[in-house]
Structure 1
Amino acid sequence: MFHPTASTPESLPGYRITGSDAPEKTVLKLGFVPLSDCAPLVAAKVLDLGRTHGIEIELYRQPSWAAVRDKLISGELDAAHALYGLVYGVELGIGGPQADMAVLMTLNQNGQAITLSNRLAEALQAGIGLRELLAAESRRHVFAQTFPTGTHAMWLYYWLATQGIHPLDDVKPVVIPPPQMSDALASGVLDGYCAGEPWHAVAEAEGHGRTVIRSGEIWPDHPEKVLACRRDFVARHPNAARALTMTLLEACRWLDDLEHRREAAGWLSGPGYIGRASPLIMPRLLGDYGRLGNTAPLMRFFGGGSVNYPYLSDGLWFLGQYRRWGLLPDDVDMQAVARAINQTALYDEAASALGVLQPASPMRSSTLIDGRRWDGSDPQGYADGFEIRADACVGGAGDGRR
């Protein structure tokens, strides 16, 4: 069992939990969807990491990302484990009702995947191109993701486009909550899906489909889930928001130890969290994907703090992809949106109090699966440079109420 060693008030330079620094709200309600990457919230709860920072965490399992969105907007939840792209979609009013949102920190990188039906996966493994496979059949194939503007939608669309497939025109994209995806694949309703674990491991274990690519192969060390809340929560409860960020930073640091992940997999298997057996959770949490090997970047929770900084360039990537797929009007100032959402100043305070190193710049660069380099400097030019893209803004993305 983990025993915090660097989290007493005396050991945190510049931080105390009395007087003007005391959290304005001490019991915080956090939502999560049953996925392996909700592990930081579960670890923070089980290890009671908030106690030193003057807060208590209550966790509330949600059936879908739409439920997370709705309860954040209504105030029923103070904060949540959320898709990066969900936060940006809500801010823009293209993923349901509009609300001013905040990203306090990134909770993890990598760790998602795409699974196809056995038939498609076997043909792909035999060297037949996916575009050729789909074109050989007269019907429109159906691929699921988890939220209209979410990370899984963007990974799925990006990967299909690299296969020469337009994800909005050549196939039918639908929204399904992660726990329902394996059954939908088994019933023939779906041909494939992108989601988080362990729902790909479940599909393979049940013989319904096969994982064909991991998200870290699409974008190595991509941003995935974030600690999200409304911006007015930060404005009204800045000390509580900072204390919550510190608590989750400590949880993420603890989870970067693989032995700790083994322990966390047991917690996650409980009925109040994921509710699936630990052997379905643990291997992929440790980077073991069986026949696919361990060549893809491991799910990262901390990485010396490099995972958790709310990089502006990460948010800008999603905005550029919304522009690419016709979801974002031309008059939106992408830089202003990213600066409003990503709470870099608050994160700096929390990380500094814990002695966590911070990057020299709020921008970072990456090279994706198609060889295109992303550094956040020109999201419009980046979006315009893709051959497969929407011609113009086509309006909202639907509200994802599943």
Structure 2
Amino acid sequence: MRDRLADPSRRSALKGVGATLALASAIKASFPGGAFAQGAGPEVKGAKLGFIALTDAAPLFVAKEKGFFAKHGMPDVSVEKQASWGTTRDNLVLGGEGNGIDGAHILTPMPYLITAGRVTQNNVGVPMQILARLNTNGQCISVAKEYLDQKVGLDAKVFKTAIDKKKAAGKSVKAAMTFPGGTHDLWIRYWLAAGGIDPDKDIETIVVPPPQMVANMKVGTMDCFCVGEPWNAQLVTQGIGYTALTTGELWKDHPEKAFALRSSFVDKNPRAAKAMLMAVMEAQQWADKPENRDELATILGKRQWINIPASDVAGRTKGTIDYGDGRVVENSPLIMKYWADQASYPFPSHDMWFLTEDIRWGKFAPDTDIKALVAKVNREDLWREAAKDLGVAEAAIPTSKSRGKETFFDGKVFDPDNPAAYLAALDIKRIA
């Protein structure tokens, strides 16, 4: 009988099977946890992602530096510094194919404002999708050194007394944030209003890009500002002002930045979008490990990212907060979180709060269909798919799209099932 193994056609077939198995093993190694199970990798190998020089952009830096984008089949992703949130918006409108960007590290309300055409030229909306939250906590409200004796803190009534006196002397008072209707705008407005200060009538609100906050405070452009790190810490280091409060004190474990892409990119390249999402999620897990925090500080400090000494960002990155007014907190429970306590999952209920606050301040019309807009922009379903493919533990995946009722430092409660009741309970607002 003829030896089947000696049969050339048989040997060829076996060789083909071996090659196929080798290829399958390679794909499995490159895309662990079942990603792209049908054998189809990302439609493209790259995309253009924007960022602002802030520590909450760390997941994008880490995904690039540690090779997570490449691991998931996207080696050509470029992470590009933007001058301001306004520049980020403009480049998102252009899109990657128009010499702009395809997605970004972004203030959570911005994809909604851009989608609805509230902040775009001629009110022409550009549909956006939020794929993940990048972090919780980690922002601060800082005040100028001239208010050091007042020890301004969580209760803005102390600040109100000080600025009333300054205005009575004929001097202007200004509060800086980073983008109208964005997270920093909403944090500082909430704080001011809770202390009886109308942010539109009692104080002038101005827009300043995050990296320019400290320089502007130094020359007296503003009395207080709200921004992310490392700029609050830099203010303290340079002796120009101090941290009045961390935003986690306003609302513990509040959502902050988001990872968002243009809808057109997601629709055209769904596998590539998912691959980048998985890379970002892995980077978030890496960044949140205590043993990686020193290396994280080194990455953040690099010239192409924030461009500061690693020592200037290490403290707050690891939970040590020197407020600059004599208060020093070690192991703060309000540390910036990238992954822990479901920080990465984009709770739709949180987006509803941002939209409700933007209605409060006139950025959206009172009759805005909040639920419909959130359903259009928030892609928590993609996050869940990516989490499953990454093998994320069930305990780390929320069982609900809502974190439930949220309580703020002043006792106000936001029930995502009844935003109208929340609005009605607020004293200072732009709607009746």
TM-score (norm 1): 0.91
Q: 1:94, 1:220 → 2: CA distance?
A: 29
Report the Cα offset of residue 225 of structure 1. 0.9
2:116 aligned residue (92, 112, 124): 92
Report the Cα offset of residue 205 of structure 1. 1.1
The answer (yes or no) to whether the contact 1:111–1:299 under 8 Å persists in 2 is: yes
Report the Cα offset of residue 95 of structure 1. 2.7
Letter in 2 for 1:316: M
The answer (yes or no) to whether the contact 1:89–1:95 under 8 Å persists in 2 is: yes
Structure 2, unmatched stretches of 5+, are 1-26
Q: 2:37, 2:91 → 1: CA distance?
A: 28
1:203 aligns with 2:235: yes
The answer (yes or no) to whether the contact 1:17–1:23 under 8 Å persists in 2 is: no
In the other structure, the counterpart of 2:265 is 233
SS of match in other structure, 1:189: coil
1:293 aligned residue (316, 321, 329): 329
Comparing 125-134 and 104-113, the one that deviates more: 125-134
In the other structure, the counterpart of 2:17 is none
* 1:157–1:296 CA distance, 2 compared to 1 (3 A): farther
SS of match in other structure, 1:143: strand
SS of match in other structure, 1:326: coil
Q: 2:79, 2:359 → 1: CA distance?
A: 35
The answer (yes or no) to whether the contact 1:17–1:53 under 8 Å persists in 2 is: no
Report the Cα offset of residue 19 of structure 1. 3.4
Equivalent positions of 1:238-277 (< 5 A) are 238-277=270-309
* 1:179–1:100 CA distance, 2 compared to 1 (3 A): same
1:360 aligns with 2:399: yes
* 1:27–1:10 CA distance, 2 compared to 1 (3 A): closer
SS of match in other structure, 2:109: helix
In the other structure, the counterpart of 2:21 is none
Report the Cα offset of residue 125 of structure 1. 4.7
1:302 aligns with 2:339: yes
2:311 aligned residue (258, 279, 282): 279
Comparing 308-317 and 374-383, the one that deviates more: 374-383
In the other structure, the counterpart of 1:74 is 94
Q: What's the C-alpha RMSD, in Å, of the aligned pairs?
A: 1.9
Equivalent positions of 1:44-55 (< 5 A) are 44-55=63-74
* 1:202–1:8 CA distance, 2 compared to 1 (3 A): farther
Q: 1:292, 1:218 → 2: CA distance?
A: 18
Letter in 1 for 2:158: G
Letter in 2 for 1:19: G
In the other structure, the counterpart of 1:170 is 202
Structure 1, unmatched stretches of 5+, are 1-6, 393-402
Percent identity between matched residues is: 35
Please list the CA deviations of residues 293-328 of structure 1 after superposition, one character each: whole Å capped at 9, or x if unmatched: 144511100016x11111111110011101111221
Report the Cα offset of residue 46 of structure 1. 0.8
The answer (yes or no) to whether the contact 1:110–1:222 under 8 Å persists in 2 is: yes
The answer (yes or no) to whether the contact 2:142–2:226 under 8 Å persists in 1 is: yes
Q: 1:233, 1:16 → 2: CA distance?
A: 18
In the other structure, the counterpart of 2:4 is none
* 1:19–1:117 CA distance, 2 compared to 1 (3 A): same
Q: 1:130, 1:381 → 2: CA distance?
A: 28
The answer (yes or no) to whether the contact 2:30–2:71 under 8 Å persists in 1 is: no
Q: 1:215, 1:30 → 2: CA distance?
A: 26
Please list the CA deviations of residues 105-132 of structure 1 after superposition, one character each: whole Å capped at 9, or x if unmatched: 0010000001100122431359971111
Equivalent positions of 1:209-224 (< 5 A) are 209-224=241-256
Q: 2:309, 2:108 → 1: CA distance?
A: 27
SS of match in other structure, 2:265: helix
Equivalent positions of 1:1-400 (< 5 A) are 9=29, 12-16=32-36, 19-20=39-40, 22-56=41-75, 57-75=77-95, 76-97=100-121, 98-125=125-152, 129-138=158-167, 139-290=171-322, 291-294=327-330, 295-303=332-340, 306-356=342-392, 357-365=396-404, 366-391=406-431
Report the Cα offset of residue 18 of structure 1. 6.6
Please list the CA deviations of residues 133-179 of structure 1 after superposition, one character each: whole Å capped at 9, or x if unmatched: 11112234100000101110010001111111111111111100011
Q: 1:52, 1:107 → 2: CA distance?
A: 20
The answer (yes or no) to whether the contact 1:118–1:209 under 8 Å persists in 2 is: yes
Q: 1:373, 1:8 → 2: CA distance?
A: 47
Q: Who wins on radius of gyration, i.e. which is larger?
A: 2
- What is the count of residue pairs matched by the alignment? 384
* 1:222–1:18 CA distance, 2 compared to 1 (3 A): same
The answer (yes or no) to whether the contact 1:17–1:54 under 8 Å persists in 2 is: no
TM-score (norm 2): 0.85
Please list the CA deviations of residues 36-77 of structure 1 after superposition, one character each: whole Å capped at 9, or x if unmatched: 111111111111112221112211111111111111111121
SS of match in other structure, 1:254: helix
Please list the CA deviations of residues 7-38 of structure 1 after superposition, one character each: whole Å capped at 9, or x if unmatched: 95477343237733x11111121111111111
SS of match in other structure, 2:179: coil
Which structure has more RCO (C-alpha within 8 Å, separation ≥ 6)?
1
* 1:185–1:11 CA distance, 2 compared to 1 (3 A): closer
Structure with the larger helix share = 2
Letter in 1 for 2:83: P
Q: 2:93, 2:213 → 1: CA distance?
A: 26
SS of match in other structure, 2:88: helix
Letter in 2 for 1:303: A
The answer (yes or no) to whether the contact 1:140–1:170 under 8 Å persists in 2 is: no
